[in-house]
Amino acid sequence: MRIVLILIVAAWGIIALLTFATTSSKSLDAKLTAAYLLAWPVLAIALFLNEPVPLWLAVPTLFGFLPWFLAGPHLYAIVRDPSRSRPDEIIGIPRGYWKWGGIGSILLGLAFDGFV
């Protein structure tokens, strides 16, 4: 099972790096999306390996899975049709959602830290 997990992570890493390399001539939105595809799992694994992690840091990282999950289809769409990229969005999600979602998830983590 360990070899299967290592192969999955290695395949993901190679594909993410190739995706990041192929977006070098694309829009800023494509570059940010490819960087998020590459960086979020690295952050999640780093936090997992450094347990115990405070909940104010773990909860936003956990919620970061949702945009990561949607980043692949968004990247595919904006690479095929660059006009689908909007300046007020990051990875296809409006900046306000990022800001308030980040603040809310940190506060939720702080609340969990206080109760647990």
| Number of neighbours of residue 2 by Cβ within 10 angstroms | 6
pLDDT per residue rounded down to tens, the chain (116 residues): 778 877 887 888 788 888 878 887 888 888 888 888 888 888 888 888 887 888 888 899 889 888 988 888 888 888 888 888 888 888 888 999 999 999 999 999 999 888 87
Asked if residue 74 lies in contact with residue 66, where contact means CB atoms within 8 angstroms, the answer is no
**Partners of 93 in beta bridges:** 90
Model pTM above 0.85: no
What are 25's two structure tokens? 């001539």
